[in-house]
Amino acid sequence: MENRLFYLIRHGETEFNKLGIVQGSGVDMPLNQVGEAQAQKFYDYYKEIKFKKIYTSSLIRTQQSVSPFIEAGYPYEAIPALNEISWGIYEGKPQNEEERRVYGEVVNSWNIGNYNARILGGESALDLQLRQLTFIQFLKQQADDCVLIALHGRALKCFLCNLLELPLSQMDSFEHRNLCLYILEFDGNKFKVIKNCDTTHLLS
């Protein structure tokens, strides 16, 4: 059996991305005009790839990011396990200095191995990892040789750690931008990154 390819993208830009407002899993913000243009550019660049299946989170910004593919008839499924981490009480609000400090403390806690740290009312890194792992096991068992997965910034970082069997303290070693692309190759046992946070498609 040939190695399988997994195309992972972060969703395109939303107005809250532009304004620096945390969305998390609790704010279902659509793409803005820039995000819609990014989605179209991604489609135009990769429309010849024969994706056997497309998976998104249950949030509209990931679904809109691949909507040209869906409209072209590619099989598609929304998976709640791919939703962004919940940032609890910080979702949907402009961050003040105190909130930025607490957010930084939580992320720093993850970077030193305290995966149970969380924003009040939100999820921990461990919560995010555990809900992704069941879907990853499902993915590994499928025969599809080329799939496209649209998810979110922190969810993408965690997903890459899960696929590559890295500790969650390595999440921030993975960069992300709106509508960036990672391509991973799976040999039936291990995943390998062959394209890293690529945005070449946005330059067209």
pLDDT at 95: 85
The CATH fold of domain 4-203:
Rossmann fold (3.40.50)
Q: How far apart are CA 7 and CA 54, in angstroms?
A: 9
pLDDT at 149: 98
Pick the closest to residue 153 from 135, 169, 175, 137 (CA basis): 175
Q: Which residue has the tokens 């067209």?
A: 204
Within the chain, which residues score under 70 in pLDDT? 1
pLDDT at 195: 97
Domain range summary for the chain, segments of one domain joined by +: 4-203
- Strand 191-198, strand 4-10: pairing: unpaired
pTM: 0.97
Is the four-CA dihedral 11, 16, 17, 18 of positive or negative sign? Answer: positive
Q: How far apart are CA 155 and CA 74, in angstroms?
A: 23
Q: Return the amino acid letter for 201.
A: H
pLDDT at 13: 98
pLDDT at 154: 98
Phi and psi based region of residue 21 (left: phi greater than 0; alpha: psi -120 to 50; beta: remaining): beta
